[in-house]
Amino acid sequence: MLRCKQVSEALASVNYWELPLRKRIGLRLHVFFCMVCGPFNRFIMQMQDTTRHYLSHEQSDTPSPDMCLPKEARQRIVDRIKHNPDQTASNL
């Protein structure tokens, strides 16, 4: 049976979802039933879970307009790539 200290230390050093399945089950059971460390460690697990889902969306979702590359920067980067001295003309 896991103790509060072991659960708290485990969640402090690694993300819950990186643990092996067996450890995850034991940890989840403890956190679900424990009246002492449960609410706190549930919060840590929720935030880790939310962050993990964010990462899976981050590279595929289209960013909102305020998070897009500004038009001027876009053009500047294109120009910079086109005029990159390391780039041979045949690739362009």
Partner 1 sequence: MTTVEGIDPERWVQEHGDVMFRYAYVRLKSHAVAEDIVQETFLAAMKAQERYQGRSSERSWLMGILRHKLIDYLRKSAREVKVEDVEEMEGLQDSLLFKGAGIPQWQPPKWHFNPRKVFEQKEFWDVFSSCLANLDQRMNIAFTLKELEGLSTEEVCKELGVEPTYLWVILYRARNALKKCLEKNWLKRNQGLREQNATV
Nearer to partner 1, 1 or 64 (CB): 64
The first and second tokens of residue 9, run together, are 């230390």
CA 13 to CA 19: how far, in whole Å?
11
Cβ atoms < 10 Å from Cβ of 16: 21
- For the CB of residue 22, give the shortest distance to partner 1 in the complex, in Å: 20
Q: Which residues bind to partner 1, rule: CB under 8 A?
A: 3-9, 12-13, 15, 36-37, 39-41, 43-44, 46-51, 53-55, 57-64, 66-70, 73-74, 76-78, 80-82, 84, 86-87, 91-92
Give start and end residues of each alpha helix (H) in 17-89. Answer: 21-33, 38-58, 71-82
- For the CB of residue 52, give the shortest distance to partner 1 in the complex, in Å: 9
Nearer to partner 1, 21 or 67 (CB): 67
CA 27 to CA 50: how far, in whole Å?
18
